[in-house]
Amino acid sequence: MLLAFDIGNTKVSTAVFQDSSIIHRGKFPSRRSGTAIDYQQQIAEFLLSSKISLSTIEDVIFSSVVPELSVAFHKMAQNLIGKKAIQVSPDLNLGIRLDVDFPEKVGQDRIATAVAAYEMFHECVIVLDMGTATTIDLVSQDGIFQGGIICPGMGILSNVLTKNTSQLFQVPLEPPVHVIGKNTEDCLKSGIFFGYIGMIRSLIQQIITTLDESPVLVATGGIAAILKTHIPEIPHWIDDLLLTGLLNIYQKNRN
């Protein structure tokens, strides 16, 4: 079995793969102060909760946007299974080529989602990951990662707006009943929710106008579920896209 981790800025998502299927998944807080021992204990409890024996875990792979935790997870993998983890890197066999100025600086999460989307369709794809930050990346039909866009996530937009205004306050990240709000809460909901959607739709259209081919649009991320019906341009919403990308990369690089 394969143990996969996506180490993000706010949470660590994990999954156990048996062959190509996820048989158990979970999430932990992403704490920069967390040590290998801390996460080792959490993973042991995570496996125990599904009655998965540690002895059945053959390999560990992870992507990380938190360098401090990358070190901890390498140590954790060594402690748990007695061998090195695979960390997503441009130096691995990815099945796509990174045509950008500094391949080593591309977020490992962006690489994994791009790999997964391209593996699914083998066509020109625009991949959106809507998390703490929102990333939009382009892979050409011949598997060339062309680069992308990084912009604020909906939560960041909300936090910045309310943090810098004395009479505004946090509201749930959800659409109001009407676009024009009748009270401050609904006005905030509308501006944050529909403002974010407008940004995403505009960026997608601007990318498409630069292309000579019609792209497949694929989206994932923590807030994707509440956006599906509001961005009809995107036909494919895939919850486990990043984790699937980790599996794809593992399959291309396992010993």
User: Of 59, 109, 129, 137, which is the active-site residue?
Assistant: 109
Q: Could you tell me if 217 and 234 are in contact, meaning their C-beta atoms sit under 8 angstroms apart?
A: yes
Which is it for strands 144-152 and 97-98: parallel, antiparallel or unpaired?
parallel
Residue 148 bridge partners (DSSP): 137
Q: What's the rounded Cα separation, in Å, for the pair 168 and 123?
A: 44
Q: What's the rounded Cα separation, in Å, for the pair 176 and 162?
A: 17
For residue 109, indicate whether it is catalytic.
yes
Q: Which positions ≥6 away from 171 have C-beta within 8 Å?
A: 158, 185, 188, 189, 192
Q: What's the rounded Cα separation, in Å, for the pair 68 and 133?
A: 19
Q: Which positions ≥6 away from 154 have C-beta within 8 Å?
A: 130, 134, 173, 192, 193, 196, 223
Q: Could you tell me if 96 and 143 are in contact, meaning their C-beta atoms sit under 8 angstroms apart?
A: yes
Q: What's the rounded Cα separation, in Å, for the pair 251 and 25?
A: 19
Q: What is the DSSP letter of 82?
A: S
Q: Look at the alpha carbons of 194, 199, 203, 209 in this order and tell me if their dihedral is positive or negative.
A: positive
Q: Which residues are catalytic?
A: 109
